[in-house]
């Protein structure tokens, strides 16, 4: 019925046109035979994916003069063949297409067919990467349209079961979850075979700090170079050392070195190992500093006599042992803070004394040596030859002498127990007078270790002969007698 009306309308239109052009029409009785256009095969509905090439075509019979295709009842320029081809766009979805088959004997219009265009899948919000720590959770997500399915991909391998618009990792593993994530979005309907892949999003997995070796307590001798160290694994960003809970400025490496001082004894050291996934604090390590041995009072030398006693002593702190030394040789068994000589020997005990004080604990290998102290041994005076008694003639030069050994400091002669002024040598000389007869002489030999008095020596002075009455001469006759006499002493 629709086709008949169309034919009648076209016929009226043509007659009117010919009339206006003053064209004479042949009578029907004179017209040649003509077959109107007739569509034998209609265009077919199309359900396609965006971007597909679509062809509408028909088959028709009759005296056909041409074709004209229409979209939404608007003639399509240039679409004048039995088929019409276009590339489907999303904007074409729902468009209606038909064709008019032209004939001088009557046109025929096809049925209207609707083009259904399914849009390709598209991504509006891509997944976002992140830096996360082991054990944390993270969700990748995507916003897509025209999506019929999803497949998440890690490092170019499909993730089994990850087929939603989001992919959640409940507890991140540093080995199995780190990498490049993307998602392939599949189309729907006619675009089911089409897909689009998102941008890649990296999941960087950081490992929490784990201290495997804490700083260790150390016992050292003062002056020793000490290094505290920490060993840790994980994604470490830095270190900070502390002493007694206070920050040590500039101490920001895995080790901390100092020179131990006695003032540091008992200090506690710890370190915070900083990491992307949080900080870890070590246990505290104690620094025990043993002080080196030191001498506050050095041994004092002395001058002593053979047979006397003497004690050397030293006052020291942080002492673990002692070794007394004489003339650079260790004294066997002299291992205390004092060294006593019970009876001094001039040969074996005289000399330079010092003591080596060794440390204790960590300073056991350290030592300090005292100043040297000299023991000077003096020998007591010993008179080996006393002055001797002498008998001389008056006027004779007499010398008394003494022989002595030991550390002699001087002499003093005596006569009859009285000091002889100026008589201070080992000999004493005089000229014997008869008035000296019977005088007794002695000498005191002076020494560092005491004086020694000689025995007394007696001076016996014999007087020279003297004449008190000389002989007297006389005159005598021959035969007389006469006696000369003299009185002498």
Domain extent, residue 28, equals 2-118
> DSSP for 238-281?
EEEEEETTEE-TT--SSEEEEE--GGGTTEEEEEEEEETT--EE
For residue 10, pLDDT over 50 is answered with no
Average pLDDT value for the chain: 92
Distance separating alpha carbons of residues 400 and 351, to the nearest angstrom:
37
In a domain, 260, yes or no: yes
The first and second tokens of residue 57, run together, are 């075509």
Give me the residue label for tokens 């062809």.
55
pLDDT digits (tens, 9 = 90+) for 275-332: 999 999 999 999 999 999 999 999 999 999 999 999 999 999 999 999 999 999 999 9
For residue 11, pLDDT over 80 is answered with no
For residue 18, pLDDT over 70 is answered with no
Kind and range of the H or E run holding 179:
strand 179-186
For residue 2, pLDDT over 60 is answered with no
Segment among 194-198, 210-214, 304-308, 469-473 with least mean pLDDT: 469-473
Query: What average pLDDT does range 210-214 have in this prediction?
Result: 98
In a domain, 169, yes or no: yes
Domain limit, last residue, from 255, 290, 325: 290
Q: What is the pTM of this model?
A: 0.62
For residue 202, pLDDT over 90 is answered with yes
For residue 458, pLDDT over 70 is answered with yes
Residues 144 and 93 in one domain: no
In a domain, 371, yes or no: yes
38-41: which pairs have CB atoms within 8 A and are 24 or more residues apart? 38/62, 38/101, 38/108, 39/101, 39/108, 39/109, 39/110
Instruction: Give 32's pLDDT tier (boundaries 50, 70, 90).
Output: low
Residues 135 and 229 in one domain: no
For residue 12, pLDDT over 70 is answered with no
For residue 374, pLDDT over 90 is answered with yes
Domain limit, last residue, from 313, 346, 378: 378
For residue 9, pLDDT over 60 is answered with no
Q: Are 443 and 413 in contact (CB under 8 A)?
A: yes
Residues 6 and 114 in one domain: yes
Residues 222 and 252 in one domain: yes
Q: State the total domains in the chain.
A: 5
Query: What average pLDDT does range 245-271 have in this prediction?
Result: 98
In a domain, 478, yes or no: no
Residues 151 and 97 in one domain: no
In a domain, 252, yes or no: yes
417: left (phi over 0), alpha (psi -120 to 50) or beta: left
In a domain, 477, yes or no: no
Residues 7 and 104 in one domain: yes
Three-state DSSP class for residue 458: strand
Q: Are 303 and 327 in contact (CB under 8 A)?
A: no
In a domain, 476, yes or no: no
Choose among 251, 215, 209: nearest CA to 232. 209
- Give the CATH number for residue 248: 2.60.40.10
In a domain, 486, yes or no: no
Residues 197 and 267 in one domain: no
Q: What is the model's pLDDT at position 389?
A: 97
Query: What average pLDDT does range 103-117 have in this prediction?
Result: 96
Residues 341 and 400 in one domain: no
Distance separating alpha carbons of residues 129 and 92, to the nearest angstrom:
37
Residues 307 and 371 in one domain: yes
Burial code (b: 16+ CB inside 10 Å, e: under 16) for 212-236 equals eebbeebebbbebeeebebebebbb
Q: What is the model's pLDDT at position 466?
A: 82
Strands (E) across 88-194 are located at: 96-103, 108-109, 113-118, 122-125, 130-133, 138-141, 143-145, 149-154, 157-158, 166-169, 179-186
pLDDT digits (tens, 9 = 90+) for 128-155: 999 999 999 999 999 999 999 999 999 9
For residue 120, pLDDT over 50 is answered with yes
Residues 99 and 87 in one domain: yes
CA dihedral (57, 60, 66, 72) in degrees, to 10, reads -50
For residue 205, pLDDT over 50 is answered with yes
Domain limit, last residue, from 96, 118, 140: 118
For residue 80, pLDDT over 50 is answered with yes
Residues 172 and 243 in one domain: no
Instruction: Give 484's pLDDT tier (boundaries 50, 70, 90).
Output: confident
The phi, psi pair for 385, rounded to 5°, reads -135, 110
Residues 78 and 8 in one domain: yes
């Amino acid at each position: 019925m629709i086709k008949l009306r169309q034919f009648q309308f076209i016929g009226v239109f043509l007659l009117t046109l010919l009339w206006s052009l003053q064209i004479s029409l042949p009578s029907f009785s004179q017209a040649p035979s003509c077959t109107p256009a007739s569509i034998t095969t209609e265009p077919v509905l199309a359900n396609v994916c965006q971007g597909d090439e679509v062809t509408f075509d028909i088959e028709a019979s009759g005296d056909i003069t041409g074709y004209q295709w229409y979209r939404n009842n608007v003639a399509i320029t240039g679409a004048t063949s039995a088929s019409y081809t276009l590339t489907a766009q999303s904007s074409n979805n729902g468009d209606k297409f038909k064709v008019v088959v032209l004939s001088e004997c009557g046109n025929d219009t096809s049925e209207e067919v609707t083009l259904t265009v399914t849009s390709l899948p598209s991504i509006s919000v891509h997944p976002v990467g992140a830096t996360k720590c082991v054990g944390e959770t993270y969700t990748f997500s995507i916003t897509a349209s025209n999506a019929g399915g999803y497949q998440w991909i890690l490092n170019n391998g499909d993730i089994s079961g990850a087929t939603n618009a989001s992919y959640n990792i409940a507890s991140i593993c540093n080995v199995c979850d780190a990498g490049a994530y993307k998602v392939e979005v599949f189309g729907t309907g006619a675009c089911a075979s089409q897909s689009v892949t998102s941008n890649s999003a990296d999941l960087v997995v950081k490992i929490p700090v784990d201290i495997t070796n804490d700083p260790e307590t150390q016992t050292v001798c003062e002056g020793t170079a000490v290094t505290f160290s920490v060993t840790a694994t994980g994604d470490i960003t830095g270190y900070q050392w502390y002493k007694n809970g206070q920050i040590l400025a500039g101490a920001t490496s895995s080790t901390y070195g100092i020179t131990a001082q006695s003032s540091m004894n008992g200090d506690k050291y710890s370190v915070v190992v900083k990491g992307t996934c949080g900080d870890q604090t070590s246990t505290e390590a104690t620094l025990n500093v043993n002080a080196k041995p030191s001498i506050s009072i050095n041994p004092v030398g002395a001058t002593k006599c053979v047979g006397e006693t003497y004690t050397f002593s030293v006052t020291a702190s942080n002492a673990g042992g002692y070794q007394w030394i004489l003339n650079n040789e260790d004294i066997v068994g002299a291992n205390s803070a004092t060294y006593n000589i019970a009876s001094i020997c001039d040969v074996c005990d005289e000399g330079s004394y010092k003591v080596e004080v060794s440390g204790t604990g960590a300073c056991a290998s350290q030592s300090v040596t005292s100043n040297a102290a000299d023991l000077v041994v003096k020998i007591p005076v010993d008179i080996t030859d006393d002055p001797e008694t002498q008998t001389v003639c008056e006027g004779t030069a007499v010398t008394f002498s003494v022989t002595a050994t030991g550390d002699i400091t001087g002499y003093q002669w005596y006569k009859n127990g009285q000091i002889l002024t100026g008589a201070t040598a080992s000999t004493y000389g005089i000229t014997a007078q008869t008035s000296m007869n019977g005088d007794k002489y002695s000498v005191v030999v002076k020494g560092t270790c005491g004086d020694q008095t000689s025995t007394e020596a007696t001076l016996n002075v014999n007087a020279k002969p003297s004449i008190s009455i000389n002989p007297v001469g006389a005159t005598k006759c021959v035969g007389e007698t006469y006696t000369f006499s003299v009185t002498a002493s």
